[in-house]
Structure 1
Amino acid sequence: MTDGVTRHTKQKDAVLQRLRGCDDFVSAQDLHRKLEDDGVRIGLATIYRQLNALADSGAADTIRLDGQQLFRLCGEDAHHHHLVCRNCGKTVEIDPPSETWLRNVAQAHGFTVESHTLEVFGLCPDCQQADGR
């Protein structure tokens, strides 16, 4: 038996195709609107399911920004981190801190490292300029 994650469906293809066209993180609602603008009829719940399945499988990144869950297809390299503009959503992949640094910080606080993600939020140069900073 297959489920919606592994089964090849028109809805999954539509979500993937449209997500590939997004360079930055996008919400399910924004993706739904873009698909509707393209003439694709698909339910918002289906988009949420597909996006969460992509995130669960590691094919998409997900972050929370201003209380909203956003998604982005992962690049070719398996493990990466991001700078994210909290104003416009522009996203840049960055090199991660060293594993040694992560383990030392965790150990200093009595933690062990099982996994990690790193998203740095701020303003991109364009938004800083528009904001007068």
Structure 2
Amino acid sequence: MSETDARPGALRPTRQRRAITEALARAHDFQSAQEIHDSLRRSGDKVGLATVYRTLQAMAETGDVDVRHNPAGEATYRQCSDSHHHHLVCRSCGRTVEITGSAVERWAHAVADEHGFTEVSHTVELVGLCAECSARR
């Protein structure tokens, strides 16, 4: 999100929000609020943990970050592409890959049509083992 972002619901670009956005940009996978807070502390940014939690929740509400819950139920966050997508997640190491594709969309619409539903939205998360974790087994 740029400082001049005038989207409805866009968040005000505070110093803390910029620091959190930069920490998310450096991360390759979903991160918990605690992991993001630790990353900020290591880089010298003084942002309180409560601020990290509030900011991530606000960013999730505006669609600026994706949220998924790890097996323990903890919310984790990642900056993803702006386009509609889903995630492929390694159940062992947590590696996450964005996936797009019309097959999921076609299937979701076909199921909705079959049952007479309209204005359907969906979230799909595929869970398996990545190549590295499979090779270690």
TM-score (structure 1 length as normaliser) = 0.83
Read off the aligned partner of 1:78 and give its amino acid letter: S
SS of residue in 2 equivalent to 1:39: coil
Alignment match of 1:120 (pick from 112, 122, 126): 126
Read off the aligned partner of 1:88 and give its amino acid letter: C
Q: What is the distance in 1 between the residues matched to 2:113 and 2:50?
A: 41
Does 2:52 correspond to 1:47? Answer: yes
Q: What is the distance in 2 between the residues matched to 1:113 and 1:59?
A: 23
Residue 102 (structure 1) aligns with: 108
SS of residue in 1 equivalent to 2:98: strand
Cα contact 2:11–2:59 (8 A) shared by 1:
no
- Shift of residue 125, structure 1, vs aligned partner: 1.0
Does 2:42 correspond to 1:37? Answer: yes
- Alignment RMSD: 1.8
Identity of aligned residues (%): 46
- Name structure 1 gaps, 5 residues minimum: none
TM-score (structure 2 length as normaliser) = 0.81
Paired residues, what number?
A: 126
SS of residue in 1 equivalent to 2:11: coil
Read off the aligned partner of 2:106 and give its amino acid letter: T
SS of residue in 2 equivalent to 1:23: coil
